[in-house]
Chains A and B, each alone.
Chain A
Amino acid sequence: MKPDVLDVKDLKVYYHTPRGAVKAVDGVSFQLFAEERLGLVGESGSGKTTSAMALLRMIKAPGKIEGGEIWLEGADQVLARHGGKNGNGQYAKGGKVNLQTLTDEQMVSLRLSAIALIAQGSMNSLNPVMRIRDQIADGYQDHGYKLTKQELKERTADLLNRVGLRPSVADMYPHELSGGMKLRVCIAIAISLSPKVILADEPTSALDVVVQRQVMETLRRVQEELGASVLLVGHDMGLMAQAVDRLGVMYAGKMAEVSPVHDIFTKPLHPYAQLLIASLPSLDVKGEFKGIPGLPPSLLEDIPGCPFAPRCPYKMERCEVEKPILKEVAPNRHVACFLVEGAK
């Protein structure tokens, strides 16, 4: 097992609304191993995007990161190079830094250089009035890379080439590019400073299925060349099955199950994962596919037991009273459910 690059412990992010605190992310823990592709799947309101944005400390008011630790590998080299004032981050566990202890200024210097984002809705993530080459260059400039015009030109051409785009794209404006090309530019930007971790927040949700596959393959190739890890956030289970090594299923702000993708699709442990996978239409057999009755719970109320209890076919009394904790029930399989825990 490769060493972990990212270690999230008990992350909590609440949105303070007039009607009370919405617990969008309520104690989520997971690890991202080196050169691994981890999927984070969940329906709307499950807190998957909030978790990703919390890693970059980009939670906008009224949201606030209430607690938890985010240990990131490779952050110390970046901070050192940035001459950050000795960075009071606790350097433990082989050079990992707890992002929560960093100042805002240090956190900014880590974005793109240590942990990069491929934003949701890549269709308009690029500055509409700036040429592509400038949007790649300002990443370098603002992170202290002193490059001559020529060096910049070469790096930009190389980046575009690695994501399958002609160098002439550098002089174009975003509105002159197709959806797929815009996403490739976003990937080029994300890898420009060779980060350790790449966060992809539903990058292909607006693309057609043919273009989606081509771009996902480019992302895979580029990630392997770079030796970076990818955290892919999304709601399309099919895409997850094809594109990630390990999959985390989130429900109502908590992690229901984290397992290798092969295990979770062949034998899902958590009831929600089971129902979710069962409800997916397939191209093989024209069967009766059924949905999951009921509605996800409100994140305002303090739910005593397991949030999925009201919709869970295997509900026990214990589920309504006690909160299940994420435990390793099988090699590398973590589940938060009493039913499964019992049958270890």
Chain B
Amino acid sequence: MTALLEARHVTKIFGGGFFTKSYTTALENFSMTIENDPPSVTAVVGESGSGKTTLARLLLGLVEPTRGQVLYKGEDLRKIGGRERRVFRRDVQVIFQDPFEVYNPFYKVDHVLTTPIEKFGLAKSRQERDSLVVQVLEAVGLRPEETLGRHPHQLSGGQRQRIMVARALLLRPRVILADEPVSMIDASLRATILGSLLKLNQEFGISILYITHDLTTAYQVSENIVVLYRGNVCETGDVELVVKKPLHPYTRLLVGSVPLPDVNRRWAAEAPASSIGQKADPNKGCRFANRCPNAMEKCIRETPPLYRVDEKRAASCYLYDDKPQLRSEDMMEVFIKGTPRLKTVVGVQ
């Protein structure tokens, strides 16, 4: 069955213009499929420069891959145009990171809701349009009379981000890519916004790709997780296992470095980096070799493939080279399947 949205062996390289020799590889041979039936919540975690935002922009069709393809219902995005593009545009929506940057300062905040309704013809009359707006605002826990008719600078970051969630809900997409949706929101409001995101998944059957650098929110929200390091997948699978018993040395370092609000669990002492690692060329072999405590000779030479370590986890590290290899496009096999649910039909369609 062709997947709803799929990245197949996607590589993205920036720079390399006529004069500049320096180029950076944002994403390397990355494959992933996003299903909508059953609706799933997948997290993509990585530090800045790991390529997670580039992945979001590739899947949204805002940027074209240097190599490989991004497929919507089996068809390459570059070939989709006209009407078909509008269907794709409606099926795959986004929530951006910076609540201050997503609103056109010239208009009131309503503009960001009324424009998609108009463009996708979601409402026949003005009256139907207004009721649709009120419905989605209430669905994300906002009181319309306190939010509509205002300019962006008159609302708090939390309110603005929730309006963006409402905007995504408006279009009834099949998939929402949330690129660091709460990283600029205060802790107390973060939970409410993530809550409304989960609500979209559970009540409206929308699959979520949650992209973040924050492991704790990723753990709370998602079923499966992909850990990215400098454009490569280093570990993936069931989030419960990946966080509790990390396989890849980088994931271990990442989990160990998260400052937990629990005074009894102190920061784990850092293992000394290995000497072999120092010699590693950052663009060849395993990208993590130069920081990896158990780097081996092999790691420096070539990039390790994905090994299926157990039924619900895979890691690309030679520590597990005794395990069966897994092709990058079959990464989904380790994912735990979301509990299939009837797509609850709410009045709004």
A–B contact, 8 Å CB criterion (strictly below): yes
With a CB–CB cut-off of 8 A, which chain B residues contact A210?
47, 253-254, 257
Residues of A within 8 Å of B189, CB to CB, are: 291-292
* B98 vs chain A, min Cβ distance (A): 14
B258 and A283 contact, CB distance less than 8 A: yes
Query: Which residues in chain A, 256-288, are within 8 Å of chain B measured between CB atoms?
Result: 261-262, 265-266, 275-277, 279-284, 286-287
Give the interface size class of chain B: 35 or more
B262 touches A282 (CB 8 A): yes
Interface string of B57-72 (1 = CB under 8 A from A): 0000000000000000
Q: Which of A51-59, A166-174, A236-244, A315-323 contacts B (4 or more CB under 8 A)?
A: A236-244
Chain A CB within 10 Å, residue with most, of B187, B191, B256: B187
**Which positions 289-333 of chain A face chain B at CB distance < 8 Å?**
289-293, 295
Do A286 and B263 form a contact, CB below 8 Å, given A214-B270, A291-B191? no
- Contacting A at CB under 8 A, from B224-240, are 240
- Name B85-99 residues within 8 Å CB distance of A: none
Say if the beta carbon of A235 comes within 8 Å of chain B: yes
A-B contact count (CB 8 A): 110
Bound Cα distance A77, B48 (Å): 45
Bound complex: CA A210 to CA B254 (Å):
6
A209 at the interface (CB under 8 A from B): yes
Given A210-B254, A291-B192, A291-B195, answer yes or no on A282-B261 (Cβ-Cβ < 8 Å): yes
Q: Is A44 an interface residue (CB 8 A)?
A: yes
> Residues of A contacting B78 with CB < 8 Å?
none
The one of A235, A266, A282, A291 that contacts B260, using a Cβ cutoff of 8 Å: A282
With A208-B213, A209-B213, A279-B190 known as contacts, the answer to whether A241 contacts B48 (CB < 8 A) is no
Q: How many angstroms between the C-alpha atoms of A279 and B158 in the bound complex?
A: 15
- CA of A284 to CA of B240 in the docked complex: distance in angstroms? 9
Contact A235 B263 (CB under 8 A): no
Q: For chain B residues 214-268, which have a beta carbon within 8 Å of chain A?
A: 214-217, 219-220, 240, 243, 253-263, 266-267
Query: Are the C-beta atoms of B259 and A243 separated by less than 8 Å?
Result: yes
Q: Considering residues B48, B195, B260, B261, which has the most beta carbons from chain A within 10 angstroms of its beta carbon?
A: B261
Residue count of chain A within 8 Å CB distance of chain B:
39
CB distance from B223 to the nearest CB of A (A): 10
Once the chains are docked, how many angstroms separate the CA of A343 from the CA of B266? 31
Q: Which of A214, A265, A276 contacts B188 (CB 8 A)?
A: A276
Cα(A165)–Cα(B260), bound, Å: 27
A43 at the interface (CB under 8 A from B): yes
Residues of chain B within 8 A (CB-CB) of A131 are: none
Q: Give, as a whole number of angstroms, the nearest-CB distance from B200 to chain A.
A: 17
Asked whether B219 lies within 8 Å of A213 as measured between CB atoms, the reply is no
Q: Is there a chain B Cβ closer than 8 Å to A212's Cβ?
A: yes
Q: Contacts A235-B186, A279-B191, A283-B215; is A242 near B266 (CB within 8 Å)?
A: yes
Is A209 in contact with B259, judged by CB distance below 8 angstroms? yes
Q: Which of A265, A275, A279 has the most CB of B within 10 A?
A: A279
Q: How far is the CB of A157 from chain B (nearest CB, A)?
A: 21
- Chain B min CB distance to A195 (Å): 25
15 A-B interface contacts by CB (under 8 A): A43-B186, A209-B257, A235-B187, A237-B187, A238-B260, A240-B261, A241-B259, A262-B263, A266-B263, A281-B220, A283-B243, A284-B262, A291-B190, A292-B188, A295-B156
- Which B residues fall within an 8 A CB radius of A? 47-48, 156-158, 186-195, 213-217, 219-220, 240, 243, 253-263, 266-267, 270
A residues with CB within 8 A of B = 43-44, 208-210, 212-214, 217, 235-243, 261-262, 265-266, 275-277, 279-284, 286-287, 289-293, 295
